[in-house]
Amino acid sequence: MNNSSKTKRLVLSSTVALAAMTFLAGCSLMPSYERPGAPVASQWPASAGVKATDGTSSAASSAVLNWQDYFSDPALRQLIATALTNNRDLRVALLTIEQARAQLGVRQADQFPTLNAAALGSRSPNSNGSINSTYSAGLTVTAYELDFFGRVASLKEQALAQVLASAEAAQTVQISLIATVVQTWLNLLADEELLAVSRQALDSRAESLKLVELKLEHGAASEFDRRSAQTLLASTRVTLAQQVRQRALDENALTLLLGQPLRESQRAQWTPDKLGQLVFAELPAGLPSDLLARRPDIRQAEQTLLASHANIGAARAAFFPRISLTAGAGSASSALSGLFESGSWGWTLAPQLVLPIFDAGRNQANLDAARVGREVAVAQYEKAIQSAFREVADGLASRATLVEQLQAQQALLDAEAARSKLTQLRLQHGVANQLEWLDAQRALFAAQQALVQTRLASLQNQIALFKTLGGGTPVAAGLSTPPSGVASQLP
């Protein structure tokens, strides 16, 4: 056989071997992914007060609502921006993304050989009493796995899904942070209004007690009337003390959310009349299916499900041969001075194939665990959808009734205010007694507090809907941007 034939046969064998390696390297034992069906109704329940056409009438209903567009109050915007910058929980969530990215980098590096520079020298005595010396230096590749069955690739896909899941988790933390800041801010506004109502009632009842005591001195009132007025005043002081304590607790909660102390200029903007002036835009509910794209916790659950598929691929690959390659090229000599001389150069190639024969069921147990993990991930994904459906349905049902409740509460307050005035006039003319007047005062004070609480509940419900409908923005600082090639992996 001439040299030309040998060369052609060698080239053909190399081409076939390269093609086989390329084909095997493209193999993947991961199961194909199919998104589970949403285990919820296609429309919101009747109690939500949403018409069937409301979910499809607006193409923008499925878009993520930006918090800067929803919250127009400058002071509130400043508080939210401060919290997004300084809150430690959000900072931990963002750093978790970076940690997951670093782990992804490790898995990506496993797909390529690691090239090391190595130098070795040894001297040992032999049986003749002389010294044997060996020196070597060169480049080495140690135990590089040829990923014919996709084990390393599956682990990389699992790490990739973890990166995306971490980004979605950070988005969930950010939305929750924005909503909690606004809700705490609303609590402080309600605290200011309740304190104003209580202080006004306290001043009024202190004056009433003085009047009763003056009447008592002139025989126009009884000791029972004085004790009744004292009881009403003391109960108002109790309520005021409770509200002062609650305001301090709410302020401490906001300080923790902001990650820094509050400024006096921020406190000065919490006026008693501000809560009643706030109006938030009504949020479109969309369809239940829109939650799959809106809610980051659902997207996080789906990425966890994708990671479980990758784990199955890696567990399946463990049943097949694992081929690793150790190679080196460099110079070796028995004398250090001749280490790099001509003729000392050489190379080594040591492929290794390991085929599992008996492992006492370890590989099968790992595969079973990976399959059960996928079923757990499916259940968690479906639970995330069901929980989101319930939260939005609760918010919609509350919105439908809180409007009517607020109107009825305002009418009740107007009626109690009118009754209190009439009772005061009747008492002055001797038609009503002290008990009727005390009852009217208690009812008016309770109605004033209930109106503030109902107004707060209505606004809090709007913020809860903002949160449950997935409002917010992508996480900041560029950490939400997936690594190159990640976006193409999304289902």
Q: What is the pLDDT of residue 208?
A: 85
Q: What is the pLDDT of residue 481?
A: 41
Spell out the residues 6+ positions from residue 420 whose beta carbon is closer than 8 angstroms to its own: 440, 441, 443, 444
Domain with CATH 2.20.200.10 in the chain: 114-146+322-355
Q: What is the pLDDT of residue 474?
A: 61
Domain with CATH 1.20.1600.10 in the chain: 27-111+149-321+364-489
In tens digits, the chain (491 residues) has pLDDT values of 444 454 444 334 444 444 444 444 456 788 888 889 888 888 888 877 776 545 444 444 445 578 888 888 899 999 999 999 999 999 999 999 999 999 999 999 988 998 888 888 787 877 777 777 787 888 888 888 888 888 999 999 999 999 999 999 999 999 999 999 999 999 999 999 999 999 999 998 898 888 888 888 888 778 888 888 899 899 999 999 999 999 999 999 999 999 999 888 888 888 888 888 888 888 888 788 888 888 899 999 999 999 999 999 999 998 988 888 888 888 877 777 667 777 678 888 888 888 889 889 999 999 999 999 999 999 999 999 999 999 999 999 998 899 899 999 999 999 999 998 998 888 888 787 878 888 888 999 999 999 999 999 999 999 999 999 888 666 543 344 433 333 334 33
Q: What is the pLDDT of residue 21?
A: 46
CA distances for 341 relative to 108, 152, 344, angstroms:
38, 40, 6
SS3 track for the chain:
CCHHHHHHHHHHHHHHHHHHHHHHHCCCCCCCCCCCCCCCCCCCCHHHCCCCCHHHHCHHHHCCCCHHHHCCCHHHHHHHHHHHHHCHHHHHHHHHHHHHHHHHHHHHHCCCCCEEEEEEEEEEECCCCCEEEEEEEEEEEEEEEECCCCHHHHHHHHHHHHHHHHHHHHHHHHHHHHHHHHHHHHHHHHHHHHHHHHHHHHHHHHHHHHHHHHHHHCCCCCHHHHHHHHHHHHHHHHHHHHHHHHHHHHHHHHHHHHCCCCCHHHHCCCCCCCHHHCCCCCCCCCCHHHHHHHCHHHHHHHHHHHHHHHHHHHHHHCCCCEEEEEEEEEEEECCHHHCCCCCCEEEEEEEEEECCCCCCCHHHHHHHHHHHHHHHHHHHHHHHHHHHHHHHHHHHHHHHHHHHHHHHHHHHHHHHHHHHHHHHHHHHCCCCCHHHHHHHHHHHHHHHHHHHHHHHHHHHHHHHHHHHCCCCCCCCCCCCCCCCCCHHHCC
Q: What is the pLDDT of residue 63?
A: 55
Choosing among 1.10.645.10, 1.20.1600.10, 1.20.1740.10, 3.10.450.50, the CATH entry for 27-111+149-321+364-489 is 1.20.1600.10
Q: Looking at domain 114-146+322-355, which CATH architecture does it have? A: Single Sheet (2.20)
Q: What is the pLDDT of residue 11?
A: 39
